[in-house]
Amino acid sequence: MIDSKDFLPVSAEDMRARGWDGYDFLVVGGDAYVDHPSFGTAVISRVLEAEGFRTAVLCQPDWRSAEAFRAMGRPRLGVMIGAGNLDSMVAHYTASRHRRREDFYSPGKRTGLRPDRAVTVYANRAREAFPGLPVVIGSLEASLRRFAHYDYWQDKVRRSVIFDAKADLLVYGMGEYATIEIARRLAAGEGIADMHGIRGTAYIAGEAPEGALVLPSFEEVCADKRAYAEATRIEYAEHDPVRGRTLAQKHGDRYLVVNPPAMPLPQAELDRVAELPYTREVHPMYDALGGVPAIDEVRFSVIHNRGCFGGCNFCALAFHQGRMVTSRSHESVVREVEAMTRHPLWKGYVSDVGGPSANFRHPSCKKQLKSGMCPNRSCLAPTPCPNIDADHSDYLELLRKLRKIPGVKKVFVRSGIRYDYMLCDKSRAFFSELVRYHISGQLKVAPEHCIDSVLDCMGKPHIDVYERFMDEYKKLNRRYDKEQYVVPYLMSSHPGSTLQSAVALAEFLHRTGRRPEQVQDFYPTPGTVSTCMYYTGLDPRDLSPVYVARTGREKAMQRALLQYTLPANHALAVEALRAAGREDLIGYGKNCLVRPLRGTGKPAGGQGRGAAAKRPAGGGKGRRP
């Protein structure tokens, strides 16, 4: 039975129970306290504990005053602050800027338990509570907002978050190396103002360091969208732990200085971090509040890798974890699953063996560890690099070992199979066993669109790759007598997608008999290449113009076209087809997407009301393997 004493202290009473007369670090998080390696607050606090530091955790404190921060007393060395697993604005608002009704990272799914722009607010409260104490900010929110960045919710460019947070240091990326070095140097008596050379950190300086690559300034990227796009191109090109350079960006009369990324954790260190003494549970203080639902998806899952060379432009992973993939040892993962089988809630199923992309276990090519990632070349899109190493044998061997553990009934893979990478593997052994053993009825993959120009803006492979994958998937399901389906993730209104593009995607869905249950409207989250396209109307990779759907009405029409069979979308889909000049798709014929609105007379094109009128909208039953 998990007891509160198995967690790190969350109160002065907890510290007294441990016999502490003080503590070294306060770790503040925007999510509820879940002591699981999928949660950044848990990882950083356990890493500090493993280094011998007395560490207390303060999750979702009342930010309206500094009192909640003072409740455990003044820490001896510093405060480490994060917003949680998501950017707090993404956690709070939908892509249409409406307030979310639920928060799965909060007790009882309650909303409003963390502030907007949580890193900034928490850091300012910590400054108020503990004058003169070092304040270090991190988490995804700080990582993606480390440079001057476009903020979708205010529709303007904001300066680096370190200025608004008034923090001493900003840690970006996964953060273990930087956190440990900062903690050790503080404990040795070094002032935080002298810690300017730590990889994976950013700081404020009076001038740019010698040798730093100077970006367009905050004022320049606010005034000139071309300068913003150029800054984004450089930021991504230099985000490499092997060849990346120090970057500097002037903000007023001061400089933001961003050191090169930290090297990824080697396998032994990744194992150590993954196997720290996490309880893998929600703190008991939330039991009476309904628990924290986010644990349900990850309690019996395994993170076996880090990094992603997939290169999707709308995804934050490349700018946070980096493109260089590292992975845990088989032995470490086996130990984790063996421990799961002793959990009182265990029912025999490993829900996922994944990570950023499940089937990445090693760098994409042999030269990366020496030369770094190619600055102007994607590993997979629009076509795979000739140097790609698509060997799945190590991942396959890991899954085989997990299947043999006593007490394990099934091992599933759910967190994003890169089908384009899988098809690069000439051996079909992994694909075969994935279909045979590791799918729980549905496999989720992300073709996202069907128009090549849109997919190029997304950094995704062209649709023929997805169709080739589907052909092989169907054959393997027939071979093993399986009735398993594919759930394709699709995105509307991504930069590059016109209304005509959305119509073409709707026609593709109609032709292939698909009725997607999940459609995502493009969300301009901080720091991504796609967000740069959305703000500037330029592709930062070559500064070419990109079409952007900006009005709420056009976005709604693009989204409605992707789910045109839903009655709630009927009127919008008709409006979209008319706006696109495609009234030929309104009617009763086999190629039509929707019927006319009532009272509007015969559809354009004179389609009759014969046998085709009895055909269900969408032209088929949709879901098939």
Per-residue pLDDT reduced to its tens digit, 277-310? 999 999 999 999 999 999 999 999 999 999 999 9
The pTM score is 0.93
- The pLDDT-based confidence of 617 (bands split at 50, 70, 90) is very low
Q: Picking from 54-63, 340-349, 367-376, which range would have the lowest pLDDT averaged per residue? A: 367-376
- The pLDDT-based confidence of 620 (bands split at 50, 70, 90) is very low
438, pLDDT greater than 90: yes
Does residue 435 sit in the same domain as residue 445? no
Contact status, residue 426 vs residue 389, Cβ threshold 8 Å: no
What the block records as the tokens of 177 is: 């190396």
Q: Could you give the C-alpha distances from 222 to 97, 255, 549, in angstroms and in order? A: 22, 16, 21
What the block records as the tokens of 382 is: 């629009």
Query: Read out DSSP for 309-361?
Result: ----TT-SHHHHT-S--EE--HHHHHHHHHHHTTSTT--SEE-EEESSSTT--
616, pLDDT greater than 60: no
Contact status, residue 209 vs residue 246, Cβ threshold 8 Å: yes
601, pLDDT greater than 70: no
Nearest to residue 361, comparing CAs of 331, 336, 391? 391
* pLDDT one-digit tens code per residue, 444-474: 999 999 999 999 999 999 999 999 999 999 9
What pLDDT, on a 0 to 100 scale, did the predictor assign at position 610? 34
615, pLDDT greater than 60: no
> For the CA atoms of the chain, what is the radius of gyration?
25
Distance CA 522, CA 555 (A): 9
Domain containing 42 equals: 4-258
What the block records as the tokens of 109 is: 């799914």
- The pLDDT-based confidence of 2 (bands split at 50, 70, 90) is confident
Does residue 171 sit in the same domain as residue 32? yes
Tell me the three state secondary structure of residue 143: helix
337, pLDDT greater than 60: yes
431, pLDDT greater than 50: yes
Distance CA 433, CA 354 (A): 16
pLDDT (mean) for 219-233:
98
Does residue 347 sit in the same domain as residue 463? no
**Mean pLDDT, the chain, integer:** 93
Higher pLDDT, 109 or 604: 109
Distance CA 320, CA 322 (A): 6
Does residue 421 sit in the same domain as residue 454? no
Whether 53 is covered by a domain: the verdict is yes
Whether 609 is covered by a domain: the verdict is yes
Residue 544, phi-psi category: left (phi > 0), alpha (psi -120 to 50), beta (remainder): beta
* pLDDT one-digit tens code per residue, 116-154: 999 999 999 999 999 999 999 999 999 999 999 999 999
Whether 307 is covered by a domain: the verdict is yes
What the block records as the tokens of 542 is: 């070559």
Whether 157 is covered by a domain: the verdict is yes
Task: Find the CATH number of the domain harbouring 448.
Answer: 3.30.750.200
pLDDT (mean) for 21-31:
98
Does residue 481 sit in the same domain as residue 588? yes
231, pLDDT greater than 60: yes
Last residue of a domain, one of 194, 225, 258: 258
Task: Find the CATH number of the domain harbouring 360.
Answer: 3.30.750.210
Does residue 430 sit in the same domain as residue 321? yes
Does residue 466 sit in the same domain as residue 412? no
What pLDDT, on a 0 to 100 scale, did the predictor assign at position 506? 97
Whether 281 is covered by a domain: the verdict is no
- The pLDDT-based confidence of 227 (bands split at 50, 70, 90) is very high
Last residue of a domain, one of 204, 238, 258: 258
Does residue 464 sit in the same domain as residue 543? yes
Does residue 426 sit in the same domain as residue 559? no
Share of the chain above pLDDT 70, in %: 96
What pLDDT, on a 0 to 100 scale, did the predictor assign at position 613? 33
How many domains is the chain partitioned into structurally?
3
pLDDT (mean) for 10-16:
97
- The pLDDT-based confidence of 514 (bands split at 50, 70, 90) is confident
397, pLDDT greater than 70: yes
- The pLDDT-based confidence of 599 (bands split at 50, 70, 90) is low
Contact status, residue 262 vs residue 173, Cβ threshold 8 Å: yes
Whether 291 is covered by a domain: the verdict is no
What is the residue type of 461? P
By CB atoms closer than 10 A (0-12, 13-18, 19+), residue 347 is: exposed
Q: Picking from 7-16, 197-206, 370-379, 448-457, which range would have the lowest pLDDT averaged per residue? A: 370-379
What pLDDT, on a 0 to 100 scale, did the predictor assign at position 600? 57
Whether 280 is covered by a domain: the verdict is no
605, pLDDT greater than 60: no
Nearest to residue 30, comparing CAs of 96, 92, 94? 92
Does residue 381 sit in the same domain as residue 447? no
164, pLDDT greater than 50: yes
What pLDDT, on a 0 to 100 scale, did the predictor assign at position 416? 82
pLDDT (mean) for 547-568:
96
To 5 degrees, how large is the angle CA 563–CA 568–CA 569? 40
pLDDT (mean) for 7-26:
97
Last residue of a domain, one of 208, 239, 258: 258
Does residue 450 sit in the same domain as residue 428? no
608, pLDDT greater than 70: no
Whether 268 is covered by a domain: the verdict is no
Does residue 506 sit in the same domain as residue 599? yes
